[in-house]
Amino acid sequence: VFEPNISIGYEDPGYPRARKIFEANRMNIVPIPVDEEGICIQKIKEQQPNLVYVTPSHQFTLGTIMTINRRIQLLKWAAENQSFIIEDDYDGEFRYTGQPVPSLQGLDQHNRVIYMGTFSKSLLPSLRISYMILPSPLLKKGHEITSLYKQTVSCHSQLTLAEFIKNGEWQKHINRMRKLYRKKRAIVLEAVQRELGEHVRIRGENSGLRILLDVYLPFGEKELIEKAKKHGVKIYPVSLSYQHHPPTKTVSLGFAGVSESDIREGIKKLKAAWKI
């Protein structure tokens, strides 16, 4: 839809795979810092990118939730500058505290938001089903482009999912999974506080399927990951999400596919691995 060499405002830190896709399409990446409320609007106004990519429901990587005030400011900027916002709502179904915040697309009154989501987090990654809601000014061009591509997901899978949503089973499933993940999240937080205590700080715990740990030990990110791996625990780097000033002692810890007993045991293994 967009011409090569246009500039895209990109959260820093942000989802590294999306950044690579934009770079492969010859877009100029404009890093925009993120604070506790979300992407910084003042920096967007200073840089004036052609469009902006954001993950407002669960910021990748920090896990923060963009405030309603910041969402309204971002939409106002897009409307005033006739720019588009790409809203990547990759796991927005899973929020554990506070009142739900409407999506940017739901708040948008000026057709400036391209909304994207996936069923990989909430159902099965193997389904490979995602979706995109285009604003009306882009529908014609979007249809022309998508007509050039073959759909790799079977019609059976698509129709089955559509029926699953239509008859209300989808919402029941989300409610069950939200309850399950809320319980697992509580176990993770309790285990981390008990076993790792003052040696770590937890961030990004209010939504999504993972948390961040700032680790106050004499090891860097790579060492922390390697020591954990030797004890059978897989944790993930955070530095790859940054274009500027990556943290050196922060790691990501997922809990969605881990049993409750394995969560407790895994945190104990982290304690041993990091010699706390």
The arithmetic mean of pLDDT across residues 7-25, rounded, is 94
Main-chain dihedrals φ then ψ at residue 247, nearest 5 degrees: -70, 155
Helical segments of 67-154, H only = 68-81, 104-107, 139-146
Is residue 2's pLDDT more than 60?
no
Kindly state whether residues 113 and 199 are assigned to the same domain. Answer: no
The Cα 200–Cα 234 span in angstroms is: 17
Position 207 scores a pLDDT of: 86
Position 184 scores a pLDDT of: 96
Q: Is position 220 within any domain? A: yes
Q: Is position 2 within any domain? A: no
| Average pLDDT score over the chain | 93
Kindly state whether residues 150 and 194 are assigned to the same domain. Answer: no
CATH of the domain at 95: 3.40.640.10
Diameter over CA atoms, the chain: 59
Nearest to 20, CA basis, from 251, 241, 239, 247 = 241
Amino acid, single-letter form, for residue 91: D
- Sign of the C-alpha dihedral computed for residues 92, 136, 75 and 87 taken in this order: positive
CATH of the domain at 183: 3.90.1150.10
Kindly state whether residues 144 and 231 are assigned to the same domain. Answer: no
Structure token digits, residue 250? 């922060």
Kindly state whether residues 202 and 130 are assigned to the same domain. Answer: no
The rounded percent of the chain whose pLDDT value lies above 70 is 99
Kindly state whether residues 34 and 146 are assigned to the same domain. Answer: yes
Residue identified by tokens 């052609």 is: 50
Is residue 4's pLDDT more than 90?
no
Helical segments of 11-136, H only = 16-24, 41-47, 68-81, 104-107
- The terminus-to-terminus CA distance of the chain in angstroms comes to 52
| The total number of structural domains that make up the chain | 2
Structure token digits, residue 24? 């492969």
Is residue 1's pLDDT more than 80?
no
Position 44 scores a pLDDT of: 98
Kindly state whether residues 49 and 106 are assigned to the same domain. Answer: yes
Q: What pLDDT, in 10s, does the model give residues 154-199?
A: 899 999 999 999 999 999 999 999 999 999 999 999 999 999 999 9
The arithmetic mean of pLDDT across residues 201-222, rounded, is 94
Position 97 scores a pLDDT of: 78
**What is the span of the domain harbouring residue 266?**
171-273
Q: What pLDDT, in 10s, does the model give residues 39-95?
A: 999 999 999 999 999 999 999 999 999 999 999 999 999 999 999 999 999 887 888
| Close Cβ partners of 34 (under 8 Å, ≥ 6 residues apart) | 11, 12, 13, 14, 40, 59, 62, 64
Of the residues 115, 144, 166, the one at which a domain ends: 166
Cβ burial, residue 32 (10 Å; 0-12/13-18/19+): buried
Of the residues 115, 150, 166, the one at which a domain ends: 166
Nearest to 184, CA basis, from 160, 151, 208, 167 = 208
Cα separations (Å) of 46 from 15, 32, 69? 22, 10, 19
The arithmetic mean of pLDDT across residues 264-268, rounded, is 97
Q: What pLDDT, in 10s, does the model give residues 127-161?
A: 889 999 999 999 999 988 888 887 788 899 999 99
Give the distance, in angstroms, between the CA of residue 159 and the centroid of all CA atoms in the same chain: 27
Q: Which helix (H) or strand (E) holds 190?
A: helix 169-195
